[in-house]
């Protein structure tokens, strides 16, 4: 007879790190949209490392938890920031004049529409997570509406400001969500409430 030994490997909930990554990149990016800072050159490091890598790491860890919602959300938004960062680099001429001169900004607008479609059905899914995450997704929806419309020059001043304010709200809610997950887990009780799921579909 063989003795069978089971080894259980546990991984920590990565959503606090993922939300912190989202909070950082949206905070820095919103400062540019709100006119508090200028240009996107110094947004790039936060886009790649916090918006991109931190969320991709969270997605990979959520996959180990068999969490399809977290894996898809963090994975898709992590890749979003790599895509946006790459677009900014192209427009700034980092890959040469030919690419910069032939870049059509409206294609980024089309990508924003794609991400709006994604974030709308993820908002429905977020109803069964917790209320902080649900409202983060509501503001992500508003952000992509603002980004898409402003990219096509539709009511630019209003839609640009809608994007700016929505992005700042995403940052603030994500900081809160990250803090809540860390502290609530660390202390084993609800230090910062995040709200129960809506329970509409269950």
From the CB of residue 181, how many other CB atoms can be counted at a distance below 10 Å? 23
Tell me the pLDDT band of 2, cut-offs 50, 70 and 90: low
Task: Report the chain's terminal Cα–Cα distance, integer Å.
Answer: 46
In a domain, 9, yes or no: no
Distance CA 25, CA 167 (A): 9
Residue 87 lies in a domain: yes
Scan for tokens 């677009």, then name that residue.
87
**Quick one: pLDDT at residue 95?**
96
Q: Say what the pTM is.
A: 0.94
- pLDDT tens per residue across span 30-87: 999 999 999 999 999 999 999 999 999 999 999 999 999 999 999 999 999 999 999 9
* Mean pLDDT score of the chain: 96
Q: What is the mean pLDDT of residues 109-133?
A: 97
Check pLDDT > 80 for residue 116. yes
Instruction: Let me know if residue 202 belongs to a domain.
Output: no
- Between CA 50 and CA 63 the distance in angstroms is 19
Is the pLDDT at 110 greater than 70, yes or no?
A: yes
For residue 11, the model assigns a pLDDT of 86
Is the residue at 92 inside a domain? yes
Please tell me the predicted confidence (pLDDT) of residue 5: 80
pLDDT tens by residue, 158-199: 999 999 999 999 999 999 999 999 999 999 999 999 999 999
CA atoms of 108 and 24, how far apart (whole Å): 22
Report DSSP letters for 148-172, one per residue.
HHHHTTTTHHHHHHHHHHHHHHHHH
**pLDDT at 6 > cutoff 80:** no
Q: Is residue 150 part of a domain?
A: yes
The reply to whether 199 falls in a domain is no
Q: Is residue 143 part of a domain?
A: yes
- Give the structural domain span for 80: 15-184
Contact 197, 128 (CB under 8 A): yes
Give the total number of structural domains in the chain.
1
Phi, psi of 179 (to 5 degrees): -60, -45
In a domain, 160, yes or no: yes
pLDDT at 4: 80
């Amino acid at each position: 007879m063989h003795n069978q030994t089971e080894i259980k490997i546990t991984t920590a909930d990565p959503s606090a790190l993922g939300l912190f990554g989202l909070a950082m990149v949206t905070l820095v990016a919103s400062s540019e949209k709100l006119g508090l800072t200028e240009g996107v050159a110094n947004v790039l490091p936060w886009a790649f490392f916090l918006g991109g890598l931190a969320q991709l790491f969270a997605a990979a860890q959520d996959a180990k938890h068999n969490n399809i919602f977290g894996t898809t959300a963090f994975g898709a938004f992590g890749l979003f920031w790599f895509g946006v960062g790459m677009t900014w680099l192209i427009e700034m001429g980092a890959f040469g004049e030919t690419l910069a001169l032939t870049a059509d900004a409206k294609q980024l607008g089309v990508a924003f529409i794609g991400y709006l479609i994604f974030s709308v059905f993820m908002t429905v899914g977020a109803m069964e997570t917790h209320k902080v995450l649900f409202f983060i997704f509501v503001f992500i929806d508003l952000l992509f509406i603002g980004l898409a419309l402003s990219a096509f020059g539709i009511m630019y001043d209003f839609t640009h400001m809608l994007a700016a304010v929505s992005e700042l709200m995403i940052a603030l809610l994500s900081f809160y969500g990250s803090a809540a997950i860390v502290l609530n887990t660390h202390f084993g009780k609800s230090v910062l409430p995040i709200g129960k799921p809506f329970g509409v579909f269950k």
